[in-house]
Homo-oligomer: A and B are copies of this chain.
Amino acid sequence: MTRTSQTTLRLVMPQWQGGDLPAYRVGAKILEALLPDATGPVETVAIPVESDRSEQDGIKARAALLAQLDAAREAIAKHAPEAIMTVGGDCLVDLAPIAYLAEKYEDDMAVLWVDAHPDVMNKSLFSHAHAHVLAMLLGDGDADFTSVVKRPVDPKKVLYVGVNDMMDVEETYLADRGMSVIGPDALRANPQAVVDWLKASGATKVAVHFDLDVLNPVGRDYLLFNKPDAPEGAFEGVATGKLELEEIVSLLEGVAGELDMVGLAITEFLPWDMINLSRTLAELPMVGSENA
């Protein structure tokens, strides 16, 4: 499907508070630098280098996240785009874009969630709201956030790709709602299964959430799981990705060839070598020192 670039908004959102990790901010800036120049409108949500990180009613940095959510919604409303390409930032950046697209396209849009994790936690389980985002889009979760979801996504219109090693609470959440998962092995056995599923859903449009942590962390400097100063065991029990980047590119090219892709968010980019270099460069005279 083709659409004119003028109706696709690029939303740059260097949000870090949803993962409680300031490095997401510079990661998002680098990701935007890596992408080809946008040919349509671009909005960059201003994200402070520092903000109150404390937990408020179960969610870290609640006030900052809500202010940023409002700013993202305003940026989108200003353009009333047909499609949104979102540059994150932590996974929660996809709340405003998919909420907008779901309200616009209703049952004609499916959601393809390409991730190692299902992102269906809640504040009683984990205070980092980036792990809540898909649940919020289904209408579940903290009311301050779900209030922006005017038309919750139908769980039967969500397809997970790459999710593996779920926790019991996640398994139960998905099973209760009859949600579908194509894991890494199933994808490799039959990559066409994704397009088949999406077409069978009855939707002609699709919004894609591409969390880079769906990728195999071996040899990839730019994933959370390769955080250089993480204490041993910091990610124990957390699923890691099993797929290769070329597999995802090929998958999404195939999806875009068969459905109208109206959303794509790329999230959780943390190129540690560059992040470390940014800290050293910030010590130079004349460049300021505002990166975290």
Q: Report which A residues bind B (CB closer than 8 A).
A: 5, 8, 26, 29-30, 32-39, 49, 83, 85, 221-222, 245-246, 249, 252-253, 255-256, 261, 264, 266, 271, 273-274, 277-278, 280-291
Chain B nearest Cβ from A209, distance in angstroms: 13
14 sample A-B contacts, Cβ–Cβ < 8 Å, listed by A number: A26-B33, A32-B33, A33-B33, A34-B274, A35-B287, A35-B291, A36-B289, A38-B288, A39-B288, A221-B273, A245-B277, A256-B286, A261-B285, A266-B281
Contacts of A38 in B (CB 8 A): 288
Query: Can you name the residue of chain B whose Cβ is closest to the Cβ of A14?
Result: B33
Q: Is the CB of B253 within 8 A of A287?
A: no
Q: Is the CB of B280 within 8 A of A85?
A: no
Chain B nearest Cβ from A266, distance in angstroms: 8
Of B5, B37, B49, B271, the residue contacting A274 (CB under 8 A) is B271
- Given known A-B contacts A273-B221, A273-B273, A287 and B85 have beta carbons under 8 A apart: yes
Q: Is the CB of A37 within 8 A of B286?
A: no
Contacts of A221 in B (CB 8 A): 273
A37 CA / B26 CA spacing, docked (Å): 10
- Given known A-B contacts A253-B285, A273-B221, A34 and B30 have beta carbons under 8 A apart: yes
Query: Can you name the residue of chain B whose Cβ is closest to the Cβ of A255?
Result: B285
A283 CA / B286 CA spacing, docked (Å): 36
Chain B nearest Cβ from A105, distance in angstroms: 15
Q: Is the CB of B249 within 8 A of A284?
A: yes
Q: Is the CB of A261 within 8 A of B289?
A: no
Q: Is the CB of A283 within 8 A of B253?
A: yes
A286 CA / B208 CA spacing, docked (Å): 11
Chain B nearest Cβ from A283, distance in angstroms: 5
Q: Is the CB of B245 within 8 A of A291?
A: no
Chain B nearest Cβ from A79, distance in angstroms: 15
A273 CA / B221 CA spacing, docked (Å): 9
Query: Can you name the residue of chain B whose Cβ is closest to the Cβ of A279?
Result: B34
Query: Can you name the residue of chain B whose Cβ is closest to the Cβ of A257?
Result: B285
Chain B nearest Cβ from A175, distance in angstroms: 31
Identify 19 new A-B residue pairs, CB closer than 8 A, beyond the known A37-B291, A274-B274: A26-B34, A29-B33, A32-B33, A34-B278, A34-B281, A35-B278, A35-B291, A36-B287, A38-B288, A39-B290, A85-B286, A222-B277, A249-B283, A249-B284, A253-B283, A253-B284, A264-B285, A264-B286, A271-B274
